[in-house]
Amino acid sequence: MNKKLLLLPGDGIGPEIITEVRKLISWINDHTDLTIETEEDYFGGAAIDAYGVPLRDETLAAARKSDAILMGAVGGPKWDNVAYDIRPEAGLLKIRKQLDLFANLRPAIVFDALIDASSLKPEIVKGLDILIVRELTGGVYFGEPRGIEDLGDGERRGVNTQVYTTSEIRRVGKVAFEIARKRQGKVTSCEKANVMESGKLWREEITRLHAESYSDVTLEHMYADNAAMQLCRRPSQFDVIVTDNLFGDILSDEAAMLTGSLGMLPSAALGAPDSPGLYEPVHGSAPDIAGQGIANPLATILSFAMLLKYSFNSVALGEQIEAAVQAVLAQGLRTADIMTEGCQKVTTVEMGDAVIKELAA
Ligand code: NAD
Ligand code: IPM
Ligand code: MN
């Protein structure tokens, strides 16, 4: 089987962590029936430096022709003052929007070996397996009007608009319910229906969708602020969380810390069945540690495992990589972000090598 993969390493630690996935790709090409043809391009700040824009049309065209896209991370202080619409982050939002990747799956799984790396007590996070389904192409990230207005006399007004339509809510809701059916059968829908009309609509549409087609799934509604608190208090109450773009961004960073580190959380952005999925770690370009060779590559390696499962139909191979990651953690190897007493501290490259060694074993 031949599959086309577009690699977008991006900025900061992005290139360092994508390097570790390149090793996995070589291993797969040498040892399995799957042949992955890769293409690669600058993206984010690196593309601003090379081409003047964070996402070129050519890159978008290459993305459309691929079976999947794997991204590192974008952004960094170097580009913090460039015009808003060509910031590195704008490139990321554009590729998500242009490919209509409306459902962002962000699993937070606590591996037994990492239980002491979590900032919560072991008994609270043990065995945890939550999936956040974040709406990714709507809401306040894209709503109009937006901008900064000059009101005169030194007074300015910053505007962003939270907007959701029935169909945007229903399509992401469907994804959440369908996945919940294959998991523990529970969906918690989070919004602020108490203060926002878009949240009220969200709650009404999710309720209607549930009654129409998914009454076998348990549905619970929760205000997003309460959800943030409950994630720390008793995270095991959650199975699938479905929420909007902004709340999903925040709740997934919070869920990351249950697992021990942002460096552990993978994600998949999916759209229509025939459109390529975009896979990326949940974390950013980590400018504070970039260039030091100490970043945790596991979120990216686990994103690649999701890619194999969802976009390349190679479920067994994806699971093999996940098992290799678990084995490496069980051996006590740790990058700095997940280091605990008695474990062995390793670099980005050493962690990647250990995963390959385990795969080959
Ligand atoms: P960040 O996720 O880059 O970093 C937050 C903290 O987590 C930092 O201390 C960092 O060192 C640590 N961290 C993150 N990933 C790690 C890893 N793999 N291994 C070890 N430690 C890790 O968030 P930030 O500092 O708020 O943002 C930095 C830049 O990244 C900004 O420009 C932001 O816009 C961008 N960003 C990009 C993405 C993306 O590309 N998907 C996501 C979030 C932030
Ligand atoms: C993420 C990031 C992005 C987001 C930024 C970099 C545009 O925080 O993927 O979680 O807010 O969606
Ligand atoms: Mn984020």
pLDDT tens track, the chain, 361 positions: 899 999 999 999 999 999 999 999 999 999 999 999 999 999 999 999 999 999 999 999 999 999 999 999 999 999 999 998 899 999 999 999 999 999 999 999 999 999 988 989 999 999 999 999 999 999 999 999 999 999 999 999 999 999 999 999 999 999 999 999 999 999 999 999 999 999 999 999 999 999 999 999 999 999 999 999 999 999 999 999 999 999 999 999 999 889 989 999 999 999 988 899 999 999 999 999 999 999 999 999 999 999 999 999 999 999 999 999 999 999 999 999 999 999 999 999 999 999 999 999 8
Cα–Cα distance, 76 to 49 (Å, whole number): 12
Assign domain 103-265 to its CATH superfamily: Isopropylmalate Dehydrogenase (3.40.718.10)
Tell the burial category of 301 from Cβ atoms under 10 Å away from its Cβ (0-12, 13-18, 19+).
buried
Contact 91, 43 (CB under 8 A): yes
Q: How far is CA 43 from CA 8, 208, 237, in A?
A: 6, 40, 38
Closest atom of ligand 1 to CA, residue 253: 2
Domain regions of the chain by residue span = 1-101+271-361, 103-265
Residue 100 CB–ligand 2 contact under 6 Å: no
Distance 212 CA to ligand 3 centre (A): 33
Rounded Cα–Cα distance for residues 247 and 228 (Å): 9
Q: What is the pLDDT of residue 229?
A: 98
Q: Is 253 annotated as a binding residue?
A: yes
pLDDT of residue 323: 97
Compute the radius of gyration of the chain from its Cα atoms.
Answer: 20
Q: Which CATH class is domain 1-101+271-361?
A: alpha beta
**37 annotated ligand binder:** no
Q: Which pLDDT score, from 0 to 100, does residue 253 have?
A: 93
| Ligand 2 pocket, residue 265 CB under 6 Å | no
Identify the nearest ligand to the CA of 71 by its number: 1
225 is catalytic: yes
Note the pLDDT of residue 226: 98
Taking the centre of ligand 3 as the mean of its atom positions, its distance from the CA of residue 107, in whole angstroms, is 14
Same fold, 1-101+271-361 and 103-265: yes
Pocket lining: 110 vs ligand 1, CB cutoff 6 Å: no
- Annotation marks residue 67 as catalytic: no
- Atom 12, ligand 2: which residue's CA is nearest? 249
Helices (H), the chain: 14-31, 45-51, 57-65, 88-98, 122-125, 166-181, 197-213, 224-233, 245-258, 298-310, 315-330, 348-360
Predicted TM-score (pTM) of this structure: 0.96
- Four-CA torsion 176, 181, 186, 192, nearest 10 degrees: 20
Supply the ipTM of this predicted assembly. Answer: 0.97
Among all bound ligands, the one having the nearest atom to the CA of 16 is 1
CA distances from 296 to 282, 299, 301, 340 (A): 12, 7, 10, 14
